[in-house]
A and B are shown apart, each in its own frame.
Chain A
Amino acid sequence: MSATIEKGINALKRQVDSSVAAFFSSCVHCGICAEACLFYTETGDAKRTPINKTEPLRRIWKSEYTLFGRVGKMFGLTRKVTDEMLEEWQELVYDSCTLCGRCSMVCPVGNDIALMIRKTREGMAAAGQAPEGLIGATTRSVTIGSPMGVKWPALAAQIRHVEEDSGLKVPVDQSDVDYMLLLSSMEIMNFPEFIEAMAKIFDKAGVSWTISSEAFEATNSGIQIGVSDIAAELVQRIVDVADKLRVKTVISPECGHAYMAIRWDGPNLVGKPFGFKVRHVLEVLDDLHKQGRLKLAGKDTQRLTYHDPCQISRRGGVIDEPRNLINLFADNFVEMPDGGKMNWCCGAGGGVSANERADEIRLKVFDRKKAQLEEVKPDAIISACSNCRIHLEDGLEEHNMDIPLLSLTETIAEYLSDE
């Protein structure tokens, strides 16, 4: 109960670095980022232009780190960052941004606007301006170990079911294995098939793997709410266990921001390089296939399309792997318009789905995905992010569209060759 505007402003001051200064100095106010953001295109509301969402950070940069800003501050000419201002921006920074990074792709001067919005959240959170839902998720992540409140006994029960159904052993807390699999709460609670799929695939491929009872949660609410200290703590839990078990590779599951948090932000958050590799599950599967350890049989003749999760494709670079894998079993694969690195966000990533206040707008901006799907008219949609899956199902239901959502990993497990 100690968040203050001063702490918020100090947090924003800490976020200004050379790249932020370069970004703000080089912004030409062209507004091209607006057209790249589904929260703008679907609402037509100019205040939702991506660069506008960074305004609190920009004001701090301007008034604290620029000559004109300092002089202006002396004469009281600069616009201040106040509680009222941050409250007004809450809806823009948290509800109207999934950190999908599409704006960063189109910026003609190369500004990473998504990064700046992420940094703006640091100030918002420190000033006590984070949404209730995200504070709750973050609290559960830290105290319970999972944003959805999933504890080890719940996962242990799911593992037991998987083992009974598949007749396969799911290794727990085994050391010196090749892979340590992380899971997102959503997979544990909503899609336990994912665990079964991994067990089957790894069994066929003959690799050693494990799930840790201490650090199984892949998601990172600290990243979404914008508190690096908490994000670092959550990453550190995984690092400690991976080091203890001496695993070679940590696998990030079918979850967008979890991959970004552990692979790209992780080492920066804990401040040192990892002693293990981090790979997305699709990268691992593609690798196994290339090594000849993943063999598939049979074809799906349905018209299939792939929804690129932003943090995995655009921000993570895992673009070819899912397509390689889909082509192993799909006879009739069609790309969505803008598929690949410029795919449109589902509308619920980056903490939006954890923020009940944003329910209305996330379903509103689903119109963009709906338009894409109407153009492709697929029989089923494949994705590689549980959060995308759940939101896409929500949106489709809202519009009475009956298109099933498939997990890529689970689908691969279904087409495993018996040889």
Chain B
Amino acid sequence: MTKDKNLKNGAPEQVNLEKGTPVKGTLGEALRSQGVSRRSFMKFCATTASMMALPPAMIPTIARALENARRPSVIWLSFQECTGCTESLTRAHTSTVESLIFDSISLDYHHTLQAAAGHGAEEAREVAMEENYGNYLLVVDGSIPLDNPGYSTIAGISNLDMLNEAAKGAAAIIAVGTCATYGGIPHANPNPTGAVSVKDIIKDKPIINVPGCPPIPVVITGVLAHFLTFGSLPELDHIGRPKAFYGQSIHDRCYRRPFYDKGQFAETFDDEGAKKGWCLFKLGCKGPTTYNACATTKWNNGTSFPIESGHPCIGCSEPDFWDGGGFYKALSMPTVDLSQTAAYAAAGAAAAGVAIGLMNRSKKNTSNKIHVKTTLEDLKK
């Protein structure tokens, strides 16, 4: 997947849309050369527009912008991560427009994917940063350890230093995966490396959070398309996620929602309810508190998503999902074991009860003691 230098450096000429001949060095040209028809390209633009809740009138705009866009330089930094995010984005079963858009960007540095190694690889990053200073997109997956820089280094450079340096010249940063967006699994209790997310470190650049463990590929390409079309970031929610994809909960879009509404739940993974495809809420489904597009875009080229294959949503795109209690504990159940706390509370209450009882008894004894037998004389003041 190393990029052809010629393509990358092609001149950003004005495109002639009517003729359908993309200008050299643009995304349109790259797509055409890979055999993507104009029809499927327009289809992709329409899909992107609808997914991002843009009016249909915007489709030609998207198409024109994408065709004319100079293939953006992308620098991809991987820190404390498992490569799952990269896997997710590259392992499409068939070649799709999304993956081709992804293929067609000028991915100048990605240490998992690039052929270059060692000094060559680092040089490629430095060159790309220098040549596209202020314009390149920085994609980050993985969290950044703050405890000891030695926990995660690339070419002897700590993750923190590399991120700070690369962020300086970036037009925008896309944090991919829950580790880069909210700390993810490395950040989970007890967080041995002191892992933090990108937004915890970089404060002066626009950051788009694309959480998920891993995130849905089309979300990445959608965000890229938006950036290329409008030159700006899509509308984000309160924790930096594009609203177009993270605006609704899994629960609200779940095809099993009618069973929830009727109170029909699978109680175990092998009961009748599970066989009938009833709601997995009682098996710990985090759908109601998880905001993501899984239930609509689905996974594996739209084949299915976890709930559809019979497993409750684990809420992987939410901050601190790993510490949110057991994956198989229903949401309405306490997230921590309260039995000991309850035992202490009960013992405390019992002790307080005994103490109050003794106080009450002594109070009553006192009132009995000071009572003098009431006689007729005592009936009037």
Report the bound CA distance from A3 to B352 in whole Å.
36
9 tightest A-B CB contacts, nearest first: A128-B381, A13-B367, A229-B374, A135-B379, A14-B367, A229-B373, A3-B381, A65-B360, A10-B367
Query: Interface of chain B, helix or strand or loop or mixed?
Result: helix
Chain B residues whose CB sits within 8 angstroms of the CB of A64 once the complex forms: 360, 363
Q: List 29 A-B contacts (CB under 8 A).
A: A1-B377, A1-B380, A1-B381, A2-B378, A3-B381, A4-B381, A7-B378, A13-B363, A14-B364, A14-B371, A16-B364, A17-B364, A64-B360, A65-B360, A65-B363, A67-B356, A125-B374, A125-B379, A128-B380, A128-B381, A135-B379, A135-B380, A139-B376, A139-B379, A142-B376, A225-B379, A227-B379, A230-B375, A230-B376
Residue A126 lies at the interface, judged by CB distance under 8 Å to chain B: yes
Cβ–Cβ < 8 Å partners of B370 in chain A:
10
Question: Are the C-beta atoms of A229 and B375 separated by less than 8 Å?
Answer: yes
Residues of A contacting B380 with CB < 8 Å?
A: 1, 3, 128, 135
- The distance from the CB of A297 to the nearest CB of chain B, in whole angstroms, is 49
Complex CA distance for A143 and B373, rounded to whole angstroms: 16
Q: Which residues of B contact A65 (CB under 8 A)?
A: 360, 363
* CB proximity of A58 to chain B, nearest CB, Å: 15
**At the interface, yes or no: A186 with Cβ under 8 Å from chain B?**
no
Contacting residues of chain B (1-36) with chain A, CB-CB under 8 angstroms: none
Q: How many residues of chain A have a CB within 8 Å of chain B?
A: 28
B260 to chain A, nearest CB (A): 34
Whether, in the assembled complex, A11 has its beta carbon less than 8 Å from a beta carbon of chain B, the answer is yes
Contacts of B352 in A (CB 8 A): 67
Chain B residue with minimal CB distance to A130? Answer: B379
A220 within 8 A of B: no
**B side interface size, CB within 8 A:** 18
Docked complex: B186-235 residues within 8 A CB-CB of A: none
Interface of A is mostly: helix
List chain B residues, Cβ under 8 A from A16.
364
Asked if A138 is at the interface (CB within 8 A of a chain B CB), the reply is yes
Q: Which residue of B lies closest to A14 (CB)?
A: B367
Asked if B368 is at the interface (CB within 8 A of a chain A CB), the reply is yes
Distance in Å from the Cβ of A182 to the closest Cβ of chain B?
Answer: 22
Q: Which residues of chain A are near B368, meaning CB under 8 Å? A: 14
Asked if B374 and A230 sit within 8 Å, CB to CB, the answer is yes
Taking a contact as CB atoms closer than 8 A, the residue among A3, A11, A125 that contacts B371 in the complex is A11
Q: Which residue of B lies closest to A230 (CB)?
A: B374
Residues of chain B contacted by A2 (CB below 8 angstroms): 377-378, 381
Residues on A with beta carbons closer than 8 Å to the beta carbon of B373: 229
Would you list which residues of chain A between 247 and 269 have a CB under 8 Å from chain B? none
State A230–B373 Cα separation when bound (angstroms): 9
Besides A13-B364, A139-B379, 15 other A-B contacts (C-beta < 8 A): A1-B377, A1-B380, A2-B377, A3-B379, A11-B371, A14-B368, A14-B371, A16-B364, A65-B363, A126-B378, A128-B380, A128-B381, A138-B379, A143-B376, A227-B374
Interface positions, chain B 317-362, Cβ under 8 Å from A, are 352, 356, 360
Name the residue on B nearest A122 (C-beta): B374
CA distance A1 to B375 in the complex (A): 10
